[in-house]
């Protein structure tokens, strides 16, 4: 099963990613330093995140999953630094024209 997921952090910022193996233990490759800046040392002592499956497919090709991941990043504005931690595609202020 191939999945696209959304990670929700305690500050309600999100990260959208894909997992081509449907591992229950995979939480993406968001930038550690970017996330760490948003939390104090004390807040990091007890930290809960949530992973939500947005899309799943047994038949989609890897390239289809890649395209859908980008669509969700743009749709949810996960690449907008005020909303999420995705750094690609680059956010340009217009969710319809992210590049």
Every domain of the chain and the residues it spans: 2-76
Average pLDDT over residues 36-53: 96
Helix (H), strand (E), coil (C) string for the chain: CEEEEEEECCCCCEEEEEECCCCCCCCCCCCHHHHHCCCCCCHHHCCCCEEEEEEEECCCCHHHHHHHHHHHHHHHCCCCCCCECCCCCCCCCCCCCCC
Q: Report pLDDT digits (tens) over 49-73.
A: 999 999 999 999 999 999 999 999 9
pTM of the predicted protein model: 0.90
Q: Is the pLDDT of residue 5 over 90?
A: yes
């Amino acid at each position: 099963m191939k999945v696209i997921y959304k990670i929700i952090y305690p500050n309600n910022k999100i990260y959208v990613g894909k997992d081509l193996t449907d591992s229950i233990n995979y939480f993406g490759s968001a930038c550690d330093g970017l996330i760490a800046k948003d939390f104090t040392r004390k807040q990091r002592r007890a930290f809960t995140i949530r992973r939500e499956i947005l899309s799943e497919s047994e038949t989609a090709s890897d390239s289809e999953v890649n395209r859908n991941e980008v669509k969700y990043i743009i749709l949810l504005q996960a690449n907008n630094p005020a909303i999420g931690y995705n750094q690609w595609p680059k956010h340009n202020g217009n969710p319809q024209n992210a590049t």
